[in-house]
Structures are given as C-alpha cells and as structure tokens.
Amino acid sequence: MNTLSLTPRRLVMALVAAGAIGALGATGAGLVGARSDAHAQATAAAVAQPAQAANLPASLPAVATPNFADITARNGAAVVNISVVGSSRAMEEGEGDEAAERQDSRQGPQGMSPDDPFFDFFRQFGMPGIPGMGPRAQQPDTPMRGEGSGFIVSSDGVILTNAHVVRGAKEVTVKLTDRREFSAKVLGSDPKTDVAVLKIEAHNLPTVKLGQTSQLRVGDWVLAIGSPFGFENSVTAGVVSAKGRSLPDDSFVPFLQTDVAINPGNSGGPLFNARGEVVGINSQIYTRSGGYQGVSFAIPIELATRVQQQIQTTGKAQHAKLGVSVQEVNQAFADSFKLDRPEGALVASVEKNGPAAKAGLEPGDVVRKVDGSPIVGSGDLPAYIGQAMPGQKVTLEVWRKGESRTLTATLGDASEKAVKQAKDTSDAGKGKLGLALRPLQPNEKKQIGVDTGLVVAGASGPAALAGINQGDVLLSINGTPASNVEDVRAAVAKADKTVAVLIWRDGNKIFVPVRLG
C-alpha cells in the first residue's frame, strides 16, 4: 500500500477506509466505515525545549509522568466493547449521498478474505488489475459484523461512541469488562460530528469523569483505552500534538490531534488527560497505509456532550449554517487583498437568500473573526458555525477591499445545506496575466446565472500556472467585475504582486491567486 500515491484528500479518505476496518475488530468484515477507529501504543518521550525560547526559567522542576496504571484501574471498567450486526444495504440506505460515495462492492481480490485487516482499504480505493475492487462497484446486500469502543457516562447505562461505529446497525451489543453483555438501543447519532448515544438497561454501572479541553495544553500527556483489532481494554498513551485542528472533510469538529497510537477498533473509545478525566472521543487517523502512523484525532468532549444532550432531548442533533463556500487564504491572496498575514476564510460564493447573503457577506470577503474568535484556516469557519444553533446570531469581522468591517448574521439550519469548503487551486507563476477572453453570450449568462463575465478562450503564463483553464468564466479581478477586456486590463494594471481572480467552473465559484511578479 505504500506504493499508492495519495493526495491530502486521499489521505483523509484513507482514514475513512481505516474506520471501516476498525469496526471489524478481529472478528469480521466491518459494518463501521465512516472514519478510522482509534487506539494507542505508548509513546513516552517528552522533548525539553530551550528555556530561553519559551521565556521560562533556566531550571525547570522535574514533572512526574502520570500514573497511567491508576488511571486505567479507575476508569477501565467504564470502557465498553461495542459489536454491531447489520447489512451493507442497510448501511447505504442509512447514509444517503454520503454512503453512495463510500460504499462499494464486498467482493475482494482473489485470496483476500473479508476478515483481512486491509480488505476494506483496497475495496475502497481499488487494487490495480483486480476487477470489483474500486469505488462505486455494485454492492450486494451482505450480512456485516463489526466492533468498536465506547464509554459509560451515566450509571443508568448511557454510552457515548462514534456515529460511524453504529452506522447501519440492526443489532448493537455492549460488552462490559466483567463479561456481561447487553443489547443496546441507539438513541441517536450525528454524522456531522461523528457522535452517537447508546442506552443499555442496567443500573449502578461504573462511569468516567469528564474533563475540559480548555485546560489541556499541547504537550500534555493523554491516554486511550479501547479495543484495537478486537483486543478489548487495551491501553496506549502519548501527548497532545495540537488543538482545534480542522480536517478537509467538511467536518464540524475542531479535533484534538495526538500521537496516541490509534488503530481499527478504537473508534468511540475515550481519551483521558493526566488526571483521569475524559477529554475526547477517539475518532480518526491520518494515514498513508490504512493503519496508525503517529497522527490521531479525537472529538473534544465538550462538543460530544453538547450533541449527547440534544440527542437525549430531541432524538437528533442540530447544527447551524452560514451559507457560504470558503477557501484558504495563502500568501498570494494575502498580498492581493492587502492582508497583513495569510489568515482567514476567503468567501468564494454566497448562497442566494441564505444567512450570509442576508447579512451582506459577499464573494471576495475574508472572514477573520466570528464572535471575536480568530479564523486562521478556512476550515475554522465551518467548524465554528457547525457548533452553533440555527437561529443564533453571530458577529463576523470581515476584510473587504482593504478595510475591516463588521457584519451580523442570523444562522440557518445545516440540515438544509451544509457549509462547505471550496477546492483550492495551485499557486501562480510570474509575468502578465496570460488570458485570452471573449464576451459571454446571452444564453451562456442565463445558463450559469451571471450578469457579467468573460469566457476564457485560452490560458498561458501565470494564469495557466495558477490553474485557470480554457472554458472557465472570469467573473472579477480583485473585486472588480470582468464586464469587458478593458476592465480586466485596468484591474491588472492597478494590481501589485498578485491578483485574486474569481472564476466560474462546473457550477462553482472559486478564487484563484495569480502572481504577476
């Protein structure tokens, strides 16, 4: 599998495939397939940074390593193994469009059993020369079994786990450390955050104590308990690598990144801090191979409990939407928009009559803060908005045409249409713009829904290097509408190092930075 060439997006898809494997545990083909399951092996190396660099005293007191044995002894009994039974067709019907993108044929290559840990990975992404091992192959209605992890949050049997662990399940069984087994009811699941809530009929059960990620620092010790590959109640440890990590998978989760070893079967298991409090639910890995490679992600416990409360109250979770498509602000865009640093979410398109449009947000705006919280990467915006509630008002600090302004938006319901992240384009080259343009015909304007624009008849030089292609429609340059060729020339003449070119392509509007030199 190391021979596969995977882009960053493919890497995230690889962890999705690992999730399918992870639900298998050691017993069978995975019913679970949304995201990679989690678990950990101990990585115990704390690297001391120079005291001067951190403005710390030259001599630091020695800090004892957390007693992982005590944490495990106190909490191990509250961590459960979850096994599920369902069918491939139930999984697909339960997921709608999302499942259509992920579910494939269960037919494997000759000699590979569905029990093989890498079966789902090759089924998902294909194997050269093997028929039926590629995306969107026809999937029969096949009985499926899978396993994951979870943890008890109330003594009357409420359990938190990942939504992908129980996706499409017809039967869910929870096994405790004392070997008792209970049939579980899925109270609800939320694919947007990958959180599910289960209930078993039992009393006086051991529970975990919940912590706060706000008190967690990068470099702090963390510990995971789960069932990697079906090995129940396995313990692994590591450190927090980053907080508030946004992933390019349209997720609403500001993940905790750790180097705790997370493997298939750990999905839904708890992540503990050094005090033995749960700070996250292990959910994903970032991988080239389909297995653990040192980068794991957990859902912050505050977000998980907020979803839990909604599910227990209403049976479902709600998320807000702003109604925009956003993309990253790189250095070229920052130069073009006269930003002091390449941070924020660049608005590529605004949903007609949506919350953003009603608030006055426009394509080309750069959202820099929401309710005072900085937006550094474009993924920070959908992650923040997705945790809000429909009807909630948010204050947006945006950068428009060289100056900052403040807008107020009343958020909509994400179940109508999720906030999405636009696909980025490559960096531009040097020289003139390099576009051959022609006016849009009336029928073309009507077809794509614009009043002005110019069709790219040919692209060369910087424009071609930036990814602009023949057939794209040029809508604006640095916010100036591309009504005619003279307007384009004038906008380029006034530009400095780069121009931000807004184009229409295949029904989407995206900004392309073109470096003029």
Q: State how beta strands 158-161 and 195-199 pair.
A: antiparallel
Helix H or strand E segment including 43: none
In angstroms, the CA 61 to CA 298 distance is 30
The answer to whether residue 39 is catalytic is no
- Whether 380 is a known active-site residue: answer no
164 catalytic? Reply is yes
Cβ neighbours of residue 68 closer than 8 Å, sequence gap 6 or more: 223, 235, 237
3-class DSSP assignment, residue 31? coil
- Residue keyed to tokens 């905790």: 256
Count of other CB atoms within 10 angstroms of residue 225: 27
Coil, strand or helix at 5: coil
The residues, any chain, with a CB within 8 Å of residue 84's CB and separated by 6 or more, are 23, 31, 32, 145, 146, 147, 148, 165, 166, 169, 171, 172, 173
Catalytic residue among 83, 87, 227, 267: 267
Catalytic residue among 39, 164, 234, 251, which?
A: 164
Amino acid identity for residue 93 in this structure = E
- Residues 5 and 14: beta-carbon distance below 8 Å: no
Whole-angstrom distance, CA of residue 494 vs CA of residue 513: 15
Residue among 37, 120, 190, 194 flagged as catalytic: 194
- All residues at 6 or more sequence positions from 329 whose CB lies less than 8 Å from its CB, including other chains: 337, 339, 342, 343, 344, 345, 346, 366, 378
* SS3 state of residue 22: helix
Q: CA dihedral in degrees (412, 416, 420, 423; nearest 10)?
A: -140
Active site residues: 164, 194, 267
